[in-house]
Amino acid sequence: MDQALPTSGSYVCHGITWANSTPQLLLAPTPDGPLVYAGIMGRRLGYRVTSSGRWCTGRYRFVDRIHVEAVACPHRAPAEAGAQCATCTSRDDFRFAHQFHAGGHAPPALTSYMAQPHWLYLATFADGTTKVGTAAEPRGRSRLDEQGALVATLLTMVSDGRTVRFVEDALTRRLGLTQTVRAATKLKALAGHRDLAPARAAHEQHLRQAADALADMSIPTVLQPWTPPSEGELLRSSDTELGLYPHDPREGEHGVTALSCVGSQVLATLDEDDLPYLLDLGALKGHQITLGPEFSSPAIALQSTLF
């Protein structure tokens, strides 16, 4: 389900998704229409941000007992709290997943979804920060792909979503591992740490510590390494300093062509400029954009570097 990037039209951007094993922009046409999954690799993205406000990015719907799918906001309404409007928030049973293990409200569809096996994983970023996270079994691969990590490992399969959250919390307490890493931190880490050997060493250290902790809890491990998508190979193998895109992708006009992608972080060239720049296309989530070949990035006199 990889469509070509539209060459025109207005959309609410839902950000970057790896749901279909490749990086795609997820776009909700305005005023209505089905979601568009548009591949970005090697394709020129020309767009203009048409509003300074944030717009609702819909909700997740349970397809069956073990799968969810993205659903666009039916009214393309402004976001009122977080990334949703009041209508989508009220219809989004999946929003209760984060408090499920703490005894929070659990709609029947969510209870059924959380009853399936879940993965526990470690993901390490370019600056050596390691997070512990969870994913439902069908989401294991795509969840790691979208993280923007340098290296990751599936630690163990746990029987259900409630139990895996308790194990996740236990590793956080024992090892001091975070459960969240901000997108801006991922971007700066990828740009500023080109000797990636220390990050890989940090992952191995955290992996040994996590395996020991799980053994103490009598939880068997699988330690299945994640195979990074080929779309990120250029970013992961480059040993040269990368320039950060010096414009805010959430404002004005832009024209970029993606060369490599790690999570939502994209290495891209500009029109008539061979120097690649690093930017986070995930920052477009919740913004309304108009696509078109006539849109280009402002001129850049010199490549901007982080250090």
Q: What is the pLDDT of residues 48-83, one digit of tens each?
A: 999 888 999 999 888 887 788 999 999 999 999 788
The per-residue pLDDT for 96 is 59
Query: Within a 10 A sphere around the Cβ of 63, how many other Cβ atoms?
Result: 11
**Are residues 282 and 25 in contact, defined by beta-carbon separation less than 8 angstroms?**
no
- Tell me the two tokens of residue 50: 């048409």
Give, as one character, the DSSP assignment of residue 3. Answer: B
The per-residue pLDDT for 304 is 44
Q: Give the separation between CA 138 and CA 143, rounded to whole angstroms.
A: 9
Q: Would you say residue 134 has pLDDT above 90?
A: yes
Calculate the average pLDDT of the chain: 91
| Residue spans per domain, the chain | 115-235
What separation in angstroms does the CA of 90 have from each of 55, 119, 157, 223? Answer: 16, 28, 32, 38
Per-residue confidence band for 114, with pLDDT thresholds at 50, 70 and 90: confident
What separation in angstroms does the CA of 93 have from each of 40, 45, 106, 110? Answer: 30, 33, 8, 7
Alpha helices per DSSP H over 124-256: 140-145, 161-175, 183-192, 197-216, 233-237
Q: Give the separation between CA 207 and CA 177, rounded to whole angstroms.
A: 11
Mean pLDDT of 157-165: 94
Q: Would you say residue 154 has pLDDT above 50?
A: yes
